[in-house]
Amino acid sequence: MSAEAAPEPPGEGGTRAAVMAGGALGTAGRWLLGLALPAAGPGWGWATLAVNLSGALAMGILVAWLATRTSSPLLRPFAAVGLLGGWTTYSTFALDVHAIAGGGSALAAVGYVLATLLLGVGAALAGLLLGERWFIVSPSLADQYADEEEL
C-alpha cells in the first residue's frame, strides 16, 4: 500500500451513486454484448459465459490493482460492485442452464455449469496472478484485500 493517508470515506449517498453509475454501465455493456452474440438456438449461452468469465478475470485484476494504491473510496464500489456486478450475471446463467436442459440435453447443461464455475474461478485466480505480476504485490493478495461484503 502507498504511504499516503487514506481518503476520507464518502457518505452513504455517494457510495450508492457510485454503485448505481457502475451498474448502469455494466448492464448496458452486457446488453450490448448480448446483441452482438445472440444465443444460437439450443446451444450454450456464449454471451453469458463471455461476460461471466471476463468479469471474473477483471475482478481479479481490479483487486490486485486496488491493493497497490490509495484511491478514491468510491472507486471500489463503482468498479467492483457496480460495473462488474452489472456486467456479470448469475440469473441469466441460471436461465441458460434451464434452456439447455429444456432443449433435451442434460449433459450439455451440466457441461455448461461446470465450465462456467471452473473457468470462472480460474479466470478470477488468473486475474489475481496477472495483477500481482503487473502491479508487484504480495502473493496472498486475495486474503488481504478481498472483502466478502463487496465481492
Tell me the pLDDT tens digit for each residue of 104-118: 889 999 999 999 999
In this prediction, residue 4 carries a pLDDT of: 54
Look at 136 and 24; give whichever has higher pLDDT.
24
* Residue 150: C-alpha distances to residues 6, 15, 20 (Å): 18, 12, 14
* Segment 110-128 mean pLDDT: 95
Residue 28 in grid coordinates: 448496458
DSSP class of residue 105? -
Alpha-carbon dihedral sign for residues 20, 23, 28, 29? positive
Tens digit of each residue's pLDDT (9 = 90 or more) over 50-82: 999 999 999 999 999 998 888 788 999 999 999
Residue at grid coordinates 500481482 = 132
**Beta carbons within 10 angstroms of residue 57's beta carbon:** 21
**What's the first-to-final CA gap in the chain, in angstroms?**
20
Whole-model pTM? 0.78
CA separation for the pair 6, 25 (Å, rounded) = 27
- Given a cut of 50, whether residue 1 has pLDDT beyond it is no
In this prediction, residue 55 carries a pLDDT of: 96
CA-based radius of gyration for the chain: 17
